[in-house]
Amino acid sequence: MSTAAARAAAWLAQDPDPQTRAELQDLLDRAAAGDADAAAELEDRFDGRLAFGTAGLRGRLGAGSRRMNRVLVGQAAAGFAAYLREKAGPDATPTVVIGYDGRRNSQVFATDSAELLAGAGLRAILLPRLLPTPVLAFAVRHLDAAAGVMVTASHNPPDDNGYKVYLGGADAGSQIVAPADAEIAAHIQHVADEADLGALPRDHGYETAPESVIDAYVAATAAAGPAPAAAAGLRWAYTAMHGVGWETTARILDAAGYPRPTLVAAQIEPDGAFPTVSFPNPEEPGAMDLAFQTARDADAELVIANDPDADRLAVGIPDPTADGGWRRLSGNEVGLLLGWQAARRAAAAGSAAGASLACSLVSSPGLQAVAEHYGLDFHATLTGFKWISRAPGIVYGFEEAIGYLVNPDQVRDKDGISAAVAVLKMASDARGEGRTLADLLDEFAATFGAYASDQVALRVEDVAIIARIMASLRASAPTALGEAQVLGVDDYRDGFESIPPGDVLRLRLTGDARVLVRPSGTEPKLKAYLDVRGDSVADAAARLTALRAAVTSLLHSFT
């Protein structure tokens, strides 16, 4: 018997899921009969483990240690329980809140986790039904819990699921960062090495969170952006992208006083198969086509889309120059408008001193210009809201991947629902002045400068190529990119400007431009983020086009 087959047999012995047991037994039988494809599949599934890191776990559903399944999730829950018990001490009983979205197996994974956490002697509280990720992040703080677990793969492909971990207390409901990730991973590995999942104690008497927790999130989110008078009659369209956003969003709209939208009916109910989109991410080409069609039919003024677990937000506006007459605003465009709104609010309230705006390194530098204009502090962080949410004095944060933190007193994570309320308020205020979101973008450029951003991604088959490219750029960075000269290179590998170490390079260019290069954290891609500040929108667009061509040529020269 091969090593992979032996591991598979041991896995099979503790797997409580009939579906993955049958799947794995079929592979074992076929491999034993000489099927080379089945043997190769076993090798792939059991060659190591799905790594637990600062994003928790995320991967394809299926049997095996490199897939998402009940064995892997059970080991994660047991390891996390051991970590929390160790941190709390022998006399404490940590509380953990567990939430789940509408993906395949999300509820099963969440229930397994609640049973195992309770069986380990913790107070486990399961949210009462499938709900958005921001509700779980809110519940960690609202219930003064030691930790939270959200079962979701966010906007990943339909066959994926994931396990996201939050910490309470001093971490205020933020996602985990080092060294907690490595410490939790070590406990999980110990469970995997030493314990039979079937023998671990389970307690079916875990608690179910009361509806008052969801009521509190609804009230807090509605209060952060009550509808102005000009919201009356606002025509807009909304899609949940087959996710869990609509039920909670609808309650908040009513509480805050906004008109109900025209719904993208085919995408409004949770459906883990995501039948109308090939990739359930509003950023992906074609993902918002149904929403734009709905908006055209309804003569809408804007479109709002959440991703499947409603922690991200996309916004679309009419644009006669775009194909179909509508375009999706970039994450940077929305992020800068919301940052401007937050800064003005802080300044008007006299609370700018000590308050800060924050965004990831790869997001638009325009947010720093806004912060400086209004006398707020500014913090650039590594990518991910686990870092953004920890910025001192934060009143607002965003990253270009359509994530926004607009209500940090309630949720220390990106929140696509509270961001939707903030966008509706901003659009309604502009509407009261006879203006649109497009007009606000023009005003932003006139006030702070014309910031333009883009991305170039290089997808590879062998991830080792990415490491070689990063090493080459570190050893010999280009002296120019097109007509822009490279003024300097900042390497974040060992930490830089009070930012923890990260595999990121920043090339500072003439003409108030920059390029940041980093490996993707979730895909076999090398990503380059391009930012230009121009004298006008047209100037910035032209320079960005030239810079994109130069960066594309540079990256492809390595392959």
Q: Which residues are catalytic?
A: 154
- Kindly report the backbone phi and psi dihedral angles of residue 150, in degrees, each rounded to the nearest multiple of 5, phi listed first: -120, 120
Strands (E), 40-81: 57-60
Runs of H (alpha helix) within 197-330: 211-223, 245-256, 289-297
* CB distance 218 to 417 below 8 Å: no
Alpha carbons 415 and 152: distance in angstroms, whole number: 14
Runs of H (alpha helix) within 68-210: 70-88, 106-119, 133-142, 180-194
In the block, residue with structure tokens 């003439």: 510
- The gap between the terminal CA atoms of the chain, to the nearest Å, is 39
Alpha carbons 459 and 453: distance in angstroms, whole number: 20
Positive/negative CA dihedral, 217, 219, 220, 225: positive
Of 315, 272, 65, 56, which is closest to residue 184 (Cα–Cα)? 56
Alpha carbons 312 and 220: distance in angstroms, whole number: 18
Runs of H (alpha helix) within 358-463: 366-374, 385-388, 416-432, 437-448
For 332, 369, 408, 444, the CA distances from 365, given in Å and listed in that order, are 9, 7, 21, 13
* CB distance 138 to 66 below 8 Å: no
**Preceding peptide of 478 cis, ω within 30°:** no
Alpha carbons 519 and 493: distance in angstroms, whole number: 12
Alpha carbons 553 and 185: distance in angstroms, whole number: 40
* CB distance 154 to 134 below 8 Å: no
In the block, residue with structure tokens 């001093």: 170
